[in-house]
Amino acid sequence: MWLWFSKLGSPRWFYELSGRWLPWLYGAMALLLLVGLTWALLFVPEDYQQGHTIRIMYIHVPVASISLACFPLMAIAGAITLVWKMKLADMVAKCVAPIGLWFTGLALATGAIWGEPIWGTWWAWDARLTSMLIQFFLFVGVIALRSAIESPDAAARACAVLAIVGAINVPIIKYSVEWWNTLHQPASRISMDAMSPNPPEIWVPLLIMISAVYLLFVISLLLRTRNEILVRERRSQWVTDLIARSQS
């Protein structure tokens, strides 16, 4: 177990392993995305209340669920950075922040697009949208801190502390916003909670889309991390060899 752990910490090992995974991941994502999108956009029956607008859900829900996973992931990577000083963990923490910001932004945008036909407004201080917005700010804070600190080592640890504090705060924010909001906006609640008794032709494509977008997330994280590895290890022998090989 320990051996595995220390091996995983080696950027080179990770680079080579992820290089072998990537083609499979690309293939799986393309397949799932094709099936999921076709099914969701063409074959899913119209919602009796929302009509065709329900199809936005097949993008919005996967994107939102991933954006929620990003902060805990960043905090865990940060904790590993602080405790074991594992360089790879910090690279992941650094790379997941902008992706998390993007996914949170996408969740906000798709939420607004969905909200317009349903609520008649692009923006509502709905509990989910509001806590998404605050999470967006938290990501902005982590990224701003990272870019403000010059020393990579200090930046890594400072961001780890902020990510952990933020991750403790995320559930508090979520519950306080929901609690603040209960009186105001039951709308989104209905559309979400109505999911469970739905027939399989609605949730199976949703599941496929969630898997596809998760793969997209994993691929972007891997690509970013691989770049980061190359940048940070640029002086080491294996990266020099790699560059020499790619140029010849």
Partner 1 sequence: MSAGTVPEVSTWGAFVATLRRDLLVAFKRRNDLLNPIMFFLIVVTLFPLGVSPDPLELAGISAGVVWVSALLASMLSLDNLYRADYEDGSLEQLLLSPQPLFFLVLAKNIAHWLISGLPVVVLSPLLAYMLYLPEGAYWTLVLTLLIGTPVLSLFGSIGVALTVGLGSRGLILAVIVLPLTMPVLIIGAKAVTDVMFGLPVGSHFALLGAMLAVALSIAPLASAAALRISVN
Task: Check residue 129 for interaction with partner 1 (CB under 8 A).
Answer: no
Q: Which stretch binds partner 1 (CB under 8 A): 14-22, 88-96, 106-114, 151-159?
A: 151-159
List of E strands, the chain:
none
- List CB contacts of 95: < 8 A, sequence separation 6 or more: 221, 224, 225, 228
Query: Which listed residue (138, 208, 209, 222) binds partner 1 by CB under 8 A?
Result: 138
Under rule CB under 8 A, residue 161 binds partner 1: yes
Interface residue with partner 1 among 31, 34, 144, 194 (CB under 8 A) is 144
Distances (CA, A) of 68 to 110, 120, 159: 15, 26, 18
Q: Which is nearer to partner 1, 158 or 219 (CB)?
A: 158
In this complex, which beta carbon is closest to partner 1, that of residue 47 or of residue 178? 178
The answer to whether the beta carbons of residues 39 and 205 sit under 8 Å apart is yes
* 8 Å CB contact between 166 and 75: yes
82 binds partner 1 (CB under 8 A): yes
Q: Which stretch binds partner 1 (CB under 8 A): 25-33, 149-157, 187-195, 237-245?
A: 149-157
Q: Among residues 173, 202, 218, 230, which is the contact residue for partner 1, using CB under 8 A? A: 173
What are the tokens at 23? 């083609």
Q: Which residues pair with 47 in a beta bridge?
A: 51
- For residue 70, the one-letter residue type is C
Q: Which of 180, 184, 192, 240 binds partner 1 (CB under 8 A)?
A: 180
The residue among 22 and 158 lying less far from partner 1, judged by its C-beta, is: 158
- Piece of the chain touching partner 1 by CB under 8 A; list 44-52, 95-103, 152-160, 204-212: 152-160
Exposure string for 74-101, b = 16+ CB within 10 A, e = fewer: bbbbbbbbbeeebbbbbbbbbbbbbbbb
* Per CB under 8 A, 100 contacts partner 1: no
CA distance 35 to 53: 19
Q: Is 137 in the site for partner 1 (CB under 8 A)?
A: yes
195 binds partner 1 (CB under 8 A): no
For residue 97, what are its two tokens? 């922040």
**In this structure, is the dihedral angle defined by the CA atoms of residues 103, 109, 112 and 113, taken in order, positive or negative?**
negative
- Complex with partner 1: residue 109 or 158, whichever CB lies closer: 158
In the complex, which residues of this chain contact partner 1 (CB under 8 A)? 82, 134, 137-138, 140-141, 144-145, 148-149, 153-154, 157-158, 161-162, 164-166, 168-169, 172-173, 176-177, 179-180
